[in-house]
Amino acid sequence: MNSKIKVAILYIATGRYSIFWKHFLSSAEKNLLIECNKHYFVFTDDNELLSQDSCDKVTFIHQKKLGWPYDTLMRFDIFLTQKAKLKNYDFIFYFNANTEILSEVTVSDLLTINNHQDLIFALQPHSFHKKINKFTYDRNPNSSAYIPYNSGKFYFTGALNGGKSKAYLEMCETLNANVRKDLNTETIALWHDESHLNKYALNRSDIKILPPYFTRGESEYWKKSSKIMFSDKTHFRFGGHAYLRGETDQKIDQNEWERSRDRQKKRHGFRLKQLFKSLFIIR
């Protein structure tokens, strides 16, 4: 009998985001939960990927491009199309398309949770150090993702999250219902799925929180201990973020990208605040 932990990896790559898949897969095969039985569920409209036969490692599922922001907002609905299969896994984990696993991520890094923990979330790498009223929670009282000021403790990223499969699927059901309820009143939460995720996390005590520097952005080279990196979607090598999302057909060029980077300062203050918070964050 195979007693390895079974992990379903959820991955959405519609429209231009399919360019990230091969890179993600090779880094995950090398470094991610190598002691587990992993299976990738890839939701895509890329004909080249869809023409590959699914195998014991990967299932490609046709998912049409819904347009921005629905490509990410509707993720809970998209995941639930595979609920019957996902139930059979011990854990489910979602990764944003532009994820790269930099070094070995073990079961104890990512999955080991105590009996009171069901979900695994990561702090938003650019804003975990902020004061709670500066978190970009959704402040719209008409939204299901509404969080009033002076509430909450952490700001979680939507870029990766997971959990025990039962708890993760329960979360998908609730958040899918919340997204749909909002759509009925033409409401879209500020940061889409991420706002809903943060609302779900509010006042819960069953979340394993990954360390502050566990993930980093591509340009945050000083976070040496990070095991997971998100490629810079604004980079001209991808044509820029709006081009990737299909919001424009106009790619940005190197000059434009460099000008936007020049506007960012050296960020010493930001780095110091993050370092300080990372040392004292109470999880």
Residues that bind ligand UDP (CB under 6 A): 12-15, 17, 65, 68, 71-72, 96-98, 159, 233, 245-246
Question: Minimum CB separation from ligand UDP for residue 211, in Å?
Answer: 20
Q: Which CB atom, from 98 or from 165, has the smaller least distance to ligand UDP?
A: 98
Question: Minimum CB separation from ligand UDP for residue 14, in Å?
Answer: 4
Main-chain phi, psi angles of 194, to 5 degrees:
-65, -40
Q: Which ranges constitute the DSSP H helices of the chain? A: 21-31, 47-50, 70-73, 75-80, 83-86, 107-110, 165-184, 192-201, 241-244, 254-262, 268-280
Give 156's strand partners: 123
Give 59's strand partners: 41
Cα–Cα distance measured from residue 70 to residue 82, given in angstroms and rounded to the nearest whole number: 18
Q: Which CB atom, from 126 or from 139, has the smaller least distance to ligand UDP?
A: 126
Tell how far CA 155 is from the center of its chain.
13
Question: Minimum CB separation from ligand UDP for residue 215, in Å?
Answer: 12
Question: Minimum CB separation from ligand UDP for residue 125, in Å?
Answer: 11
CB 97 within 8 A of CB 12: yes
CB 49 within 8 A of CB 56: no
Q: Which CB atom, from 227 or from 233, has the smaller least distance to ligand UDP?
A: 233
Question: Minimum CB separation from ligand UDP for residue 129, in Å?
Answer: 19
Q: Which CB atom, from 7 or from 12, has the smaller least distance to ligand UDP?
A: 12
Q: Which CB atom, from 17 or from 156, has the smaller least distance to ligand UDP?
A: 17
- Which residue is associated with the tokens 């499969």? 165
